[in-house]
Structure formats: C-alpha cells, structure tokens
Chain A
Amino acid sequence: MITFKIGGIHPHDNKIAKNAAIESLKLPNKVAISMAQHLGAPATPIVTKGDSVVVGQVIGEPSGFISGFVHSSVSGTVVAVEPRADIVGNMVTHVVIDVEGDIWDESIDRSEGLNSNIVASQDAILAKIKSSGIVGMGGATFPTHVKLCPPKDKKADFLLINGAECEPYVTADDRLMREKSACIAVGTAIMAKVLGGCKSYICIEENKPEAIAAMTAACSKYENIEVLKLKKKYPQGGEKQLIDAVTKHQVPSGALPIEAGCVVQNVATAFAAYEAVQKNKPLIERVMTVTGQCVAEQKNYLVRFGTPLSYILETSGCNLENAAKIISGGPMMGKAVANIEATTQKGSSCLLMLTKEQTARMPIGNCIRCGKCADACPMGLEPWLLYKLSENGNQFDALEDNKIFDCIECGCCTFTCPSFIPLLDIIRVNKVEVMKIIRNRAKK
C-alpha cells in the first residue's frame, strides 16, 4: 500500500463520528459571516445595515488576486457590518444577519437529482468556481480558481483529490464521500476538465473502507479517475506528502505543487465545485464534524457559514462540563477556540471537544537528543535543532540554513517528543520571522 516516504506518525485515529450520517443543522436566529474566510485579502462587504438578503446572494467581493467572493448563507436582514472577534480573538469584519425564513436565490437548482452532464466550457467553469466563492476546504482555504489556473508554461499531469483525512477525529470528508460519492466524481471530472483532462486520483486512507467502496463504484464510469487506497499515516493529507505518496514526485522547496505536475484539491472542494457548476449553488455551507469522547452524541452536520459555535454546541446537546478545550479543526493542526461566540467558516471541518486528560500539556523536560522529532518530521527537518536555535536568541541565519521555512506545521515533532518540548510553538513563530526576512531580501 502506498504512503509518503519521509517521517510521519501514527496517532490513534479516533474516528468515533464516522457512523453519524450527515444532517442539516437547524438555522440559528442570527449569523455573522466573516469576510476573511479564505487565504489572502479579506473580501469587501457590499451590503449595509438594513439590506435584506437571500440565500446565495453575494455579500462580499474579492479585494485582490488572492481573495474570494462571500455569499449570504441565510435569508434575512443585515443588522450590522462590523469588526468582530474570530475564534482566536482577532478582529475581522463580519456581516451580521438576522435570519428570517429560508428563501433561496431563484437561480439555484435545489433539486436532488444528479446532473453528471458537464456542458460548461473551461472558462465558464473557472468563472463559476470563482464567483461561487469556492476555496480549499481542507483547511488552508486557498482560493480554488487560482489553484486551477497553473501558469501557461506548466501543465498539470495529475489531479489529486484529497480524501485522506489523516487528522484524528475528523469524519466530515469520510461522510461526504460515503453519501455524495457520485457528486464528488462529477466534481472531480469538472476540475480535471479545467486542467485539460488530466489523470485524476481520489486518495483515501485505508481506515475509510466504506468511502473507498463508494467512491470506487461512483468512479467506475470515468476512465480517467482512479481511487487509491493509502496507508494510514499522518500527515498523509498534507499536499506535499500526498503528492509524494501518489506520484513519488517531490514538490521543490518553496515551489507550488504544479512544479511536480500536480494539483491537489480536497473532496469537499470537489463537491462544492459540482454544486457550483452543475447546480449553480455558491459555497454557503459545509459538512462539519462535532465530536469528542466527552460529547454525548457524535454528529456530522451540514452547517451554514456564519453559524455561532456556541449555537452548534447548544443544539447538539454537548455537555461542556468535561470539555477543557474546544478545537476548530483536527487535534493536530486545528485552532483552539478562544472565543466561543465566533462563527463557522469555509475552512472549519470539525468542532472537537477534548477533556483535560486528553489535551493537557506536561511539564517540559530536557531534550534527550533521541532524534524522534527528526524521524517524525515529514519534511526531513531537525525540529530539535530549530528549537535550540530559537531558544538561544533567535539565530535567524542558522534557522534559514536549516530550512525552517520548509516546515508545514503538521505538529509531528511536538506529538512525538518524549520530553514534552513544545517544538512547534516556537518554530512556527520563528518561521514567520524568517519568511519575513527572506521576503524583504527578495524585495531588495
């Protein structure tokens, strides 16, 4: 069975929510839709207080090349356009809407039937994906239309649809593949068409046999789409690792995946592309796992963007007594929620509750130079060395020499350290510093 070559770890997958079918979450009374749901410049709000909006209406326009459209996920009246704290407490412009009924834009095809006949041209598909506000839904939220337009001189040999879902606990993609396999297959074909009809692989880890079966059946009609079973290993879902696992090519340091002839898209993105192109439905909702051992009922919800996290927890009947930490995303790369009133976004795939025992950080011990962090690092870096260099007063030159900018922040080093040294905490901060230095140098 295939997997990536360098490093990696084997955390317990804890996919305890995998048998919970996707259900739509009841609409909240009020939503606050963030204008910064994608990587790059935040969108500019184009509605003002008092405007009434319907589901699917554009409320934010891109303000740069790497930016995206934002649509209203509910119908109702805009009550405020104001800065609000996001999950980590940073102020971001939100459009706050009072929900009134559920009126959809008339152009959206809400019928159930599968539409597998791709009639749109390449340019039309790209324009549709852009205007539907589709971004990478694996968590990085990079605008999809940018990713689907490689530079003229580069050609994509492979389209990798990422269904690895290597993060423990998260089951959103798993459920989506099991329940919407046909739509994902069409979405894949749509994106492959944009890229000039390249070979597509749908990559799924071995711990999701039902998803593999469903996707294999759905893709049997397509000659150019193949379902690949991958060995379970974290971070298989990392773009670079997935490319290594499937094609044995490596993305050169500092370059984009297209350099290795690949474009990687998440399965949820493929599904969103299907809905946008075939059903004219912009990106307004996503599947989100609500899980954790201390949660009474595991859920996979279809959640409209802008729904407050507190509302989700309340509706799903989570007993928060035992939950010491709430995480948006998976336990390896997700963000700890500091502000429970923050709202869901395009990149939030999971809401995970961990108890104190599961998440508590232990007292930091001495580095015993076991080298386990270096063994675990999927980029072949030496986290112990980067940590030491950071500790001794930020030696940025040495950090750069040791390729700190290659770090993908997967957390394998911290996970594996027997002395509980929070290696990634400081590496992440110094990586930003070093990138800044490199960029400044490039400007000169």
Chain B
Amino acid sequence: MANTIVSPAPHIHGRNETQILMREVLRALAPVVLVSFYFYGLNAILLQVTCLVSCLLTEFLIQKYIQKGQITISDGSACVTAVLLALNLPPATPFWVAIIGSIVAIAIAKMTFGGLGQNIFNPALVGRVFLLISFPVVMTTWTAPSSFFSSVDAFSGATPLALINEGLKSGLSVQDVFAANPGLTPAQMSFARAGGSVGEISVIALLIGFVYLLVKKVIKPHITLSIWATVILMSGIFSLCDPTAYTGPLFNLFTGGLMLGSIFMATDYVTSPMSNKGMIIFGIGIGVLTMLIRYFGAYPEGVSFAILIMNMVVPLINKYCKPVRYGYKKNK
C-alpha cells in the first residue's frame, strides 16, 4: 500500500468545468445563429467562420509566441467571443473588418489584461464598438433579412432604431415613422423581421437561448431581468409623458441589441458582478444608460456602450455589494 494520494478536502469535485459552461453558452446561442444563417444565408455563415477562425488564431498565436505559456483555446471562451462578435456585426460586414474586430476583441480587450477572467470589458463588445467607431459606414450599412423563400425585402435596410432616430431628427413624430414603416411592430420584430446586426434577427430565438441558460443554471436571471425592467419602466414613463418624441416599452425591448446584449453580453461572467444585489444594480445601470443613449444620444443604439460603461463599474460594485452572509441576521 504505497503512494496513496493525499490532498486537503474536499476530495471530490463537481466537474462543472469552464469548458462545459462555455459549451452551454454556445448551445444557447445556436438557435439565433441558425436563424441568422437562414435569413442572411452565406453572409452570416461567412461572418461566423471568419470571426471564429480569427479569434481562435489570435488567441493561439498570442499564447504561443507572446505569453509563451499554456495554450488554452480549448476552454471555449474564444469561441463564445467569436460567435458573439459575429452576431454583433451587420450581415454585410466585409471579412477584413470582421478580422480586425476579432483581433481587437481577443488581443486588446482580452489578452492584454491577462487572458480569460482578467479582462475588464466584454471582448466581443470592445471589438464591435471599435469597429463602429473606426468604420462607421460599414458598420451602419444594414442589409434587410430575406428568407430563402421570398426574394422580396421585408422592409428597407435601416434598423428600426435608426429609422426612429432619423425620423425624429427630421422633425417627424414617432407615430409618423411608424405609419411610414408598417413593418415596425414588436410582433413583426420578434419573428426574424428586424433589420440590424446578425444576432438581432429574432427575439424568439434569443429568448430560447435565455431559457436554456437558466434551466442549465449557467447564468442567473438577475442581470437580464433588471435590464428589461428598467428599460420598460423608463421608456414607459417617457412615452407616457410625450408619445410623439419617445418610443414605447415594447418597441424598446424588442429592437436593437437589447435582447442580445441583456441575455448574452451583460451576463458574461468575467465582466459582471458576482453578488445578486450587485447584478441588479449592474442591470439597472445598463438599462438606464441604454435608454439615455437611445433617447438623447447621437447613436440610435446604446446597449453596447451601456454595457461597456457598466463593465467599468463592476470592481466597485463587487467591492460594495457583498452576498447575504450567515450569522449577521437579527434573530427574532
């Protein structure tokens, strides 16, 4: 009986590895990816492949030649970043733009901070925002989704939020814009009819992913739900005050990157708070910032900026929002 293993307790492990968690996230993303393939066809497929290859390659090269350390691309985090980045780009993005975005996302937003778990900002969003600021024209040229069955475009290429933004700037009221664009109803947009980034195509597909993540206990609902609640509340109050200048809750909830952002980007482990209380504060912050940017900002869409801004606050939230501790409750 020689050479038994000795280690401190516990002696068993839950074996719920990072790799498995990342795989679950990828599975949750599958519905929206498939829907985007269906409606945007080859464009979306090429975009996904480009992002995947360039993200993985960037991480591999950095780990191999700059860090000269362990190569951990198999943990799946780079895959998640790649898929999310591709979902955040307009369908007609040229492949070289996608490559630049991937390199920025992995090399600058992730690896310079020390790799997985060390980054302050969500890598995919940094990639997207970098592209949005650097290549504004490319990044705001939207192709309308078209199914394989109909060759007729559902409606013009601009995103619903951009339409509203443009309309309001040129002096029209919200109702005028809606009247001019009959496709702009929440019901329409839920089923793969919204123009915009690849991943904004179908609210239903995103919600399926959300439910999957919740069932598998990969994420907790706090962040997502508090973002939704804040957006509904804020847009509700504003649109009640002046329905001609401000869009309503349902429109805001179902348009743009809000669903994608609130379900998949804001809930990123690395860049979101740990405690429940912190998550709710984080979610409220994103909701408020998103609505402020949408209503008053120069950009029609503000989810990415809102999440990135709130990412910066996470260490502070973590410092002050502690979990509910045992032994500090007053007994009755």
Decide if A and B touch, CB cutoff 8 A. Answer: yes
Contact: A414 with B10, CB < 8 Å?
A: yes
Decide yes or no whether A370 CB sits under 8 A from chain B.
Answer: yes
| Residues of B contacting A340 in the complex (Cβ-Cβ under 8 angstroms) | 1, 4
Contact: B323 with A359, CB < 8 Å?
A: no
Decide yes or no whether B154 CB sits under 8 A from chain A.
Answer: no
Contact: A419 with B326, CB < 8 Å?
A: no
Which B55-88 residues have C-beta < 8 A from chain A? 72, 75, 77
**Chain A residue nearest to B319 in the complex (CB):** A385
Contact: A11 with B274, CB < 8 Å?
A: no
Given contacts A250-B331, A406-B327, is CB(A335)–CB(B116) below 8 Å?
no
Contact: B9 with A424, CB < 8 Å?
A: yes
| Residues of B contacting A428 in the complex (Cβ-Cβ under 8 angstroms) | 8
Contact: A325 with B16, CB < 8 Å?
A: no
Decide yes or no whether B328 CB sits under 8 A from chain A.
Answer: yes
Min CB distance A285 to B, Å, is: 25
Contact: A368 with B116, CB < 8 Å?
A: yes
> Given B5, B114, B275, which contacts A356 in the complex, CB threshold below 8 Å?
B5
A74 to B158 Cα, complex, angstroms: 89
| Residues of B contacting A415 in the complex (Cβ-Cβ under 8 angstroms) | 10, 12-14
Which A335-371 residues have C-beta < 8 A from chain B? 335-338, 340, 352, 354, 356, 358-362, 365-371
Decide yes or no whether B21 CB sits under 8 A from chain A.
Answer: yes
Decide yes or no whether B241 CB sits under 8 A from chain A.
Answer: no
Decide yes or no whether A196 CB sits under 8 A from chain B.
Answer: no
> Given A250, A335, A416, which contacts B16 in the complex, CB threshold below 8 Å?
A416
Contact: B10 with A403, CB < 8 Å?
A: no
A356 to B77 Cα, complex, angstroms: 28
Min CB distance A320 to B, Å, is: 6
Decide yes or no whether A240 CB sits under 8 A from chain B.
Answer: yes
Given contacts A337-B4, A368-B116, A419-B18, is CB(A374)–CB(B275) below 8 Å?
yes
> Given A240, A324, A335, A416, which contacts B4 in the complex, CB threshold below 8 Å?
A324
The interface bits of chain B over 4-38 (1 if a CB of A lies within 8 angstroms of the residue's CB, else 0) are 11111111111011101100000000000000000
> Given A168, A323, A360, A370, which contacts B269 in the complex, CB threshold below 8 Å?
A370
| Residues of B contacting A246 in the complex (Cβ-Cβ under 8 angstroms) | none
A255 to B329 Cα, complex, angstroms: 13
Which B87-124 residues have C-beta < 8 A from chain A? 114-118
Interface of A is mostly: loop
| Residues of A contacting B20 in the complex (Cβ-Cβ under 8 angstroms) | 418
Which of A198-206, A326-334, A433-441 faces chain B?
A: A326-334
> Given A253, A366, A416, which contacts B328 in the complex, CB threshold below 8 Å?
A253
> Given A252, A360, A371, which contacts B327 in the complex, CB threshold below 8 Å?
A252
A295 to B143 Cα, complex, angstroms: 64
Contact: B274 with A371, CB < 8 Å?
A: yes
Contact: B16 with A418, CB < 8 Å?
A: yes
| Residues of A contacting B16 in the complex (Cβ-Cβ under 8 angstroms) | 372, 416, 418
Decide yes or no whether B324 CB sits under 8 A from chain A.
Answer: yes
A368 to B329 Cα, complex, angstroms: 30
Contact: A168 with B12, CB < 8 Å?
A: yes
Which of B6, B17, B318 has the most C-beta atoms of chain A within 10 angstroms of its own C-beta? Answer: B6
Contact: A332 with B12, CB < 8 Å?
A: yes
Min CB distance B44 to A, Å, is: 28
Decide yes or no whether A249 CB sits under 8 A from chain B.
Answer: yes
**Chain A residue nearest to B322 in the complex (CB):** A382
**Chain A residue nearest to B13 in the complex (CB):** A415
Contact: B4 with A379, CB < 8 Å?
A: no
A374 to B11 Cα, complex, angstroms: 20
> Given B4, B21, B324, B329, which contacts A370 in the complex, CB threshold below 8 Å?
B21
Contact: B13 with A414, CB < 8 Å?
A: yes
Contact: B17 with A418, CB < 8 Å?
A: yes
Contact: A369 with B274, CB < 8 Å?
A: yes
Min CB distance B1 to A, Å, is: 5
Contact: B325 with A359, CB < 8 Å?
A: no
| Residues of A contacting B7 in the complex (Cβ-Cβ under 8 angstroms) | 325, 336, 359, 361
Decide yes or no whether A396 CB sits under 8 A from chain B.
Answer: no
> Given A240, A380, A384, A422, which contacts B324 in the complex, CB threshold below 8 Å?
A380
| Residues of B contacting A323 in the complex (Cβ-Cβ under 8 angstroms) | 4
Decide yes or no whether B288 CB sits under 8 A from chain A.
Answer: no
Which A387-444 residues have C-beta < 8 A from chain B? 403, 406, 409, 411, 414-416, 418-420, 422, 424-425, 428
Contact: B328 with A418, CB < 8 Å?
A: no
Given contacts A371-B269, A428-B8, is CB(A378)–CB(B1) below 8 Å?
no
The interface bits of chain B over 167-202 (1 if a CB of A lies within 8 angstroms of the residue's CB, else 0) are 000000000000000000000000000000000000
Contact: A362 with B1, CB < 8 Å?
A: no
- Nearest 4 interchain pairs by C-beta: A411-B10, A371-B274, A380-B325, A253-B327
Known: A380-B324, A406-B326. 13 other contacts (CB 8 A): A6-B324, A168-B12, A240-B326, A240-B327, A331-B12, A334-B9, A336-B5, A336-B11, A368-B116, A379-B325, A382-B322, A416-B16, A419-B117
- By a beta-carbon cutoff of 8 Å, the part of chain B in contact with chain A is 1, 4-14, 16-18, 20-21, 72, 75, 77, 114-118, 220, 269-271, 273-275, 318, 322-329, 331
29 A–B contacts from the bound complex (CB under 8 Å)? A9-B14, A240-B326, A252-B327, A252-B331, A253-B328, A254-B327, A325-B5, A325-B6, A331-B9, A332-B9, A334-B11, A336-B7, A337-B4, A354-B12, A359-B12, A361-B13, A362-B17, A365-B72, A379-B325, A380-B322, A380-B325, A381-B325, A382-B274, A382-B275, A382-B323, A415-B14, A419-B17, A424-B9, A425-B8
